[in-house]
Structure formats: C-alpha cells, structure tokens
Structure 1
Amino acid sequence: MWELVKAGGWLMTPIVLCSILALVIIIERSHTLQFNKVAPNRLREQLITRLRENGDIGRTQLMNVKEKTALGDILATGLLYRQYGLESMTMHMQNRASVQVHQLEKNINMLGTIGAIAPLLGLLGTVLGIISSFLAITDGAMQDPTMLAAGVSQALITTAAGMIVAIPALVAYRYFQRRIIDINAQFETQAGLMVQELYDYQLLENTHIPNTSKQVTHAAVDDSIRDQHSIDRFGLDETATATL
C-alpha cells in the first residue's frame, strides 16, 4: 500500500487526508443520525400520558427531556411554553427544530466537498503524470524509460485513488441528506400530533383562559342563572295572577 501511495506522487497526500476525513465524518454521522438517538419511539406518548395523569410536568423533568434527544428538545420546549398560548408554543418548537436540523447537518457539506474535490485531485495527478511521461521523450526518442513508467504510474494511481475516495463520500453524503429529511419530517409529525393530542385531551384549556377571564365567565354564568330564576318566578306569578 505504501508503495502505491509513494508511486502516486505528492498529490496522494491530500487524497489520503481526504479519505481519512471522510471516514471520520461517515462514522460520526452514522452514530449520530440514528433514529433511536434523535427521535426515540413513544417519547410523545410518554409525555402526554404523564401530562394527563399529573396535570402538568415539572420544569426540571422537561429540561432533562430537552437535553437527551433532539425530538425531546422540541417537544419539551413546546410544553414549557404552552402556558403562553398555541402560537407561542408553535413558534418556539419551530425555532428549536431549526436549531436541531442545523446540528444534524454538521459536517455533511464537508463530506460533499470531499466527494467533489477527490476526483479533481486525481485528475490533476493524471495530468501531471502525463506531463512527466512526455518529458521522458525528446525528439521522438525515449530518453528515460524510468521517468516514463513513473509518469504513467502516477497518472493511473492518482486517478484511481481520487475515485476510490469520492464514490463512498458522495454515496454517504446523499444518504445522510435523505436521513436528515426523514428526521425533519418525523419532528414535524411528532410536534403536530402532540398539539393535536393537547387539544383532544383538553390539556390546553387551563392555559388558554386566564384567571380573570375565568372569573368573568363564572360571573356571567351566575348572572344568567339568576336571570333565568327571575323569569321563571315572574312567569309563575303572572300565571297565578291570571288564575285569580
């Protein structure tokens, strides 16, 4: 292996560095972009169940959920701000989702850049190798066969090395891009389902109506009840008078 790298010339150094960097990114992103680590199953159900049983979830518990997973960060943020209304809750969840998606895209562009640069480095090595081969020929006669063989070796090795690095890098780049799109769709689905369940189970009722509004509402109900009693009594008195 070392002999091939040495025969490829100095351009093999950046190609090898690109291969190492691409391998590190692929391993790191493969570990990070796992669904069970980013958007674990039944997390939303667990939060809604706890909310229905206890009526509320403590801030400390929600902060612990936020720190564990990306989906937990989004859902816990929504529950932290649900007391300020649906619009504020949705806005904060969207902001956290944008931050989490940006974190998931970390180093992905670098992987795409490596996939684009590696073939160019190999092509540059090919050109330099061919130039070295032509320098071995002067006036139609071969002056240095060793130089000719070295130039051809450099051209072939650098081209092959560039493609070997670029192909896996581009495949991984496209794969991770699709994985991030799927994860983002999962974020939107889970957030939407949580809002719907908060409505269905009437878990937003206590946060949408302030205490003053509740007092006014109760007062209006009491007034209507008193009015109804007055009407009924007036009706009975009127009937009794007519009978007399």
Structure 2
Amino acid sequence: MSLLQQDTIYPLDSLAGAAQQTVELANEKISLIDLLFKAGWIMIPLALLLFATLVIFVERYLTIRKASKYDPSLMSHVKQSVLSGRLDSALSVCRASNSALGRMLEKGLLRIGRPIKDIEGAIENVGKLEVARLEKNLNLLSIISTIAPMLGFIGTIFGVIIIFRDVEAAGGIDIASVSGGLYVKMIASATGLTIGILAFAGYHTLNTMLERLILRIETDAIEFVDLLDEPGS
C-alpha cells in the first residue's frame, strides 16, 4: 500500500469511528435531570439560587398583589366622615380596611388638630414603613440575577480545565476526552444565565407592580391632606 493510500484511509477510518460514536450518543436517551447532573457540583448552588428565586418571587407577588387591591369606597367614606366631623367613623373604616392606605389615613386622622406639616410627616413616615415592608427580600432577586451567571461562568472555567485534563490524559484530542468538559461548560453556563434572566425579570416585574401601588397610595394621601387643608375642614 502506498503512502498516499495510507493517508487517505486512516482519516476516513477516524471519521467513521467519530460518526458512529456521535450516532450512539444521539440514540442514548438522557433525561433532563441526568443531563443537568452531568455539570457536577456547580449545579448545587445554582439549584439553591433557582429555589430562592421562585420562593421570593411567589411570596412577594402574592403580598404586593394583595396590597394592590383597591377599595374605592375607603377614600369616599373618609372624605364624607371628615367633612361631617365624624372622625370615629373614618377611623373605624381605615382600621377595617387593613391596607397600607388605611393605615396611612388612620395616622393622619389621629393627628387632626395639629399643624398640617405634622400630619403630612406622620402619613409619610407610615408610608415609608409600608413600602419597606412590601420591598422585603426584593433586592435578593437583583443579587441573584448577578450571582447566577457568575456561577455559570465558574462552571465554564471548570469545564475548560476538565477538557485540558482529559486531553492530556488521553494524549490527544477526541470526542471522549472533550465531551465531559463540554457538558460542565455548556450546562453550567446555560443554567446560570437562565436563572439570572428569571431573577432579573421577576425583580423588575415586582418593582413595576410596587411602583404603581406607591403612586396610587401617594395620590390618595395627597388628596387626604388637601382635604384637611381646605378652609372649614
């Protein structure tokens, strides 16, 4: 056999072997969980971050949504009671509402008779406490959206290290020596980015809901202060 024939046959044999190995890998059924576990230990902190993201988002979403339920009769009843001098009735309605706006108006009603600036300050202080309560743990989503892709990048680095280690051990580059590190590299990166995107989207979704709620509460609070500041009220 000539040298030309040898150079032609051996690469074809290598390609045929690689193609056969690729077909076998394609035919192998791997579940999603098994595929994720191939990324190694880096998936443990990523799984914890995913769990924290889901728990925080669901809990904050339900809390903010509950606080966002608007009762139009609250302001109208408080207005009528204040104008008619029935402060006890207005206080009862505010307490029964069990809402952020109700607690703010209640504080303002308890300050009636004092300077309007004192009333405004009391309402503002209660408003800050209500907003802080609604924002609880919200910043954790922003932190997770930054940390998760970084952890995925760490997995990428470990995947590259594994590839070089396996190539060195095999004495050359082939699919078997590269595939293990590629699993770690690609799965960790994809998982980290996915969790980061989910946390980022959840953070901004909740912030948008909260901003709308705050705007409506502030509008009603200003309307209440204007009512008290009107002559004869």
CA RMSD in angstroms comes to 2.4
Alignment correspondent of 2:192: 162
Match of 2:181 in 1: 151
Q: 1:49 aligns to what?
A: 80
| Contact kept in structure 1, 2:81 and 2:89, CA below 8 Å | no
Letter in 2 for 1:10: W
Percent sequence identity is: 26
Aligned equivalent of 1:76, options 78, 81, 106: 106
Unaligned runs of 5+ in 1: 204-244
**For this pair of structures, how many residues does the alignment match?**
201
Match of 2:216 in 1: 186
For the 8 Å contact 1:122–1:161, the answer to whether it is kept is yes
User: How much does 1:84 deviate?
Assistant: 2.0
TM-score, reference length from structure 1: 0.74
Q: In structure 1, how many angstroms separate the alpha carbons of the residues matched to 2:56 and 2:189?
A: 23
Match of 2:56 among 2, 6, 25: 25
Residue 221 of structure 1 corresponds to which residue in structure 2?
A: none
SS of 1:202's partner is coil
The runs of 5 or more residues in structure 2 that have no matched partner are 1-31
CA distance in 2, matches of 1:87, 1:62: 24
CA distance in 2 between counterparts of 1:132 and 1:184 reads: 51
Superposed displacement of residue 180, structure 1: 2.3
- Counting only pairs closer than 5 Å after superposition, residues 61-100 of structure 1 correspond to structure 2 as 61=92, 64-65=95-96, 68-100=98-130
Cα distance in 1, alignment partners of residues 67 and 115 from structure 2: 30
State the alpha-carbon separation in 1 of the partners of residues 186 and 169 from structure 2.
25
Residues of 1 paired with 2:144 and 2:213: CA distance? 24
Instruction: Point out the structure with max Rg over C-alpha.
Output: 1
> 45, 48, 51: which one pairs with 1:14?
45
Moved more, 150-159 or 187-196: 187-196
For 1:165-197, what per-residue CA distance to the aligned partner results, in whole angstroms no more than 9, with x for missing partners? 111110111222232222222222111101222
Q: Structure 2 length as normaliser, TM-score?
A: 0.77
Q: Secondary structure at the match of 2:87?
A: coil
Alignment CA distance shift 1:45-1:39 (3 Å): farther
Aligned residue for 1:116?
146
1:240 aligned residue: none
Q: 1:62, CA displacement in angstroms?
A: 6.1
Give 3-state SS (helix, strand or coil) of 1:50's partner: helix
